[in-house]
């Protein structure tokens, strides 16, 4: 997949809601994910994160910044625009389940 220019991102190792974890436990989730992708040799320059169940808090953003995570996705269904791309750790995304809803794609 990496040979075909696909990028990878972390989602935690135990799929716990990061908003409910201590900073230490959040760092564990993020560090173990980074270590896994590093061992698989797919850790790239534009490494990303997706918040488990969309759950994060202010400290999560600081941890991701310190780990040099380039961008992160929330569960807010929307496209990326010139306006929201500036918040690189709070990007919206479309989940596959969103396409069964009334969201209209232009």
Q: How far is CA 12 from the centre of its chain?
A: 9
* Domain of 69, in residue numbers: 2-96
Q: Is 104 within a domain?
A: no
Extract the tokens encoding 4. Answer: 């075909």
Start-to-end C-alpha separation, the chain? 29
CA distance 4 to 64: 26
Report pLDDT for 105.
56
CB 66 within 8 A of CB 30: no
Provide the pLDDT for residue 73.
95
In a domain, residue 106? The reply is no
- What is the C-alpha to C-alpha distance for residues 26 and 5, in angstroms, rounded to an integer? 29
Give me the pLDDT at residue 91, please: 95
pLDDT in tens, the chain (106 residues): 778 877 788 999 998 999 999 999 999 999 999 999 999 988 888 889 999 999 999 999 999 999 999 999 999 988 899 988 999 999 998 877 766 655 555 5
Any domain includes 80: yes
The CATH number linked to 41 is 3.20.20.370
Q: What residue has token string 């990326």?
A: 80
> Looking at the 3D structure of the chain, how many domains does it have?
1
DSSP string, 28-43: HHHHHHHHHHHHTT--
Predicted local distance difference test score (pLDDT) of residue 46? 84
Return d(Cα 76, Cα 53) in angstroms, integer: 10
Residue 25 main-chain phi, psi, to 5 deg: -70, -35
């Amino acid at each position: 997949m990496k040979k075909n220019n696909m990028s990878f991102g972390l989602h935690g190792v135990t799929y716990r809601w990061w908003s409910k974890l201590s900073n230490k436990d959040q760092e564990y989730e993020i560090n173990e994910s980074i270590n896994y992708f590093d061992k698989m040799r797919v850790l790239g320059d534009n490494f990303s994160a997706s918040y488990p169940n969309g759950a994060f808090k202010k400290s999560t953003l600081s941890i991701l910044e310190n780990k040099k995570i380039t961008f992160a996705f929330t569960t807010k269904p929307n496209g990326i625009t010139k306006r929201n791309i500036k918040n690189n750790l709070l990007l919206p995304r479309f989940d596959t389940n969103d396409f069964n809803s009334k969201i209209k794609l232009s």
